Each structure stands twice: as structure tokens, then as C-alpha cells.
Amino acid sequence: MNLTNYKINEFFQTIQGEGSYTGQPSIFIRLQGCPVACSWCDTKHTWDIEPSLEISADKLLAKSAETEQWSDLSVDQILTLIVQQKFKAKHVVITGGEPCMVDLTPLCQGLEQAGFSTQIETSGTFEIRTTDSCWVTVSPKVNMRGGYEILSSAMKRANEIKHPVATEQHIDDLKSLLLQHKVTTTPVYLQPISQKQRATELAIASCIENDWRLSIQVHKYIGIE
């Protein structure tokens, strides 16, 4: 029995819309808590952990809107909920918030032992503690209000790098990061911020120029969570 607990804001099944796993049916586990403070963050409701907003697993599953409420669940409880919800996906995406604020090894071990593949989406500002087989997506957040630096260990552990872009400065920041951390073979995805035309055109041109890949947040275009 694994008694490690995680503070979870959302728990749902959908289609992965970003990066290498685009199109993959996935179970998303969104953790509560993030100090990075990205200006364009679309999950600001996950930033703070307010003890008074803790709810039961049943209420978590019944949430119909984004809220700051969260539920404290063990690995065994999470596995039980997957069965109870009759989720069919065999791929689990652990996101946030900033999931790497906590040790994700017990959660990924439990999921993988139950037959799931695992993926973490992280800003690269915290040590990545997980299993060797977990797919790690690092979306490096440079010069955010929280003041956290991108860790070399995170860049080296990344299976893919997914970088949000809106301006030429974002491209320059990414090139500097790749050079600084000697990243040469890891797949790089550019993701236009908020699907704006200018950002999308910049991302396309930069992908062609640098032999990178495009990630366009398919789930937002087709209108799913």
C-alpha cells in the first residue's frame, strides 16, 4: 500500500493536445500549487494552496468549473478513482500548477505498475523526481515573476522541450537555454501563446528555420478540456 498523498485540483479524461503525445487519450491529474507565476498562465486557479478549500474526492470529480478547490489523495485512492470512473485511457499526464514541487516517483511507480504510461509537464524550475520510464515535458519558463531559474538537471532529463512563444524574445530565450544547457538532440516544440495569429506565424517560421516542431494546443481548437 502506498500512502503518499498529492493535492489534486482536477482529475479527468480527455485527448492530449500538445507535444509528442498529441492525439493520445489521456487521464489528466492536475496538482495544486505553483510559485512560478507565468503572466499568461491559463490555470492561475492552481497557484495557491488554501487549506480551507480542501474538498472530498467526490466533490473533486463533480467540479464543473475551474476553482481553487483541491483534494488530498493517496496513490491508491487515485488508482481506485480511475477504475470507478471507468476511464479507458492508458496514458496519464501529471500537470499543474507545478507538479515537480513534490516527489512524483511514488505516483508514477503506482500508475506504471498498474499498466499506465506516465508523463509530467513541468516548468523546469524544480528538481524532477520520477521514474526512469516517465516521459518528461519541460516547458521552460524564463524570467517569470516568481524568480525561479531553469535547472540544468531538468533540461537534461527532458524527453521533449515545449516552449510557449509570442515574441522574438521568446525565441532568443529558448536558443540561449539550449546553448547554455548543451541541448542538441531533444525534440523542441514551439507553442503559440493563446493561438494568436502573430504568435502562430512566428512559431511556424521559427520551426522551419531551426528544424523544430509545432505544438498548437489541438484541444483548444476542437473545444475540449
Can you give the pLDDT at residue 38? 86
- Does 16 have pLDDT greater than 90? yes
- Positions at the binding site: 15-17, 30, 34, 38, 40-43, 95, 97, 139-141
Q: How far is CA 82 from CA 29, 58, 75, 136, 189, in A?
A: 11, 13, 11, 22, 30
Domain membership of residue 56 as a residue range: 5-163
The answer to whether residue 9 sits within a structural domain is: yes
The mean predicted confidence, pLDDT, of the chain is 93
One-character DSSP codes across 54-106? B--HHHHHH--S--S-BEEEEHHHHHHHHHHTT----EEEEESS-GGGS--HH
Prediction pTM value: 0.93
Residue type, 201: E
The answer to whether residue 71 sits within a structural domain is: yes
Can you give the pLDDT at residue 12? 94
Can you give the pLDDT at residue 141? 86
Can you give the pLDDT at residue 124? 95
> C-alpha cell of 37?
507565476
- What CATH number is attached to the domain comprising 79? 3.20.20.70
The answer to whether residue 124 sits within a structural domain is: yes
The answer to whether residue 172 sits within a structural domain is: no
- Positions at the binding site for S-adenosyl-L-methionine: 40-42, 97, 139-141
The answer to whether residue 119 sits within a structural domain is: yes
User: What is the tally of structural domains in the chain?
Assistant: 1
pLDDT digits (tens, 9 = 90+) for 88-124: 999 999 999 999 999 999 999 999 999 999 999 999 9
The answer to whether residue 186 sits within a structural domain is: no
The answer to whether residue 53 sits within a structural domain is: yes
The answer to whether residue 176 sits within a structural domain is: no
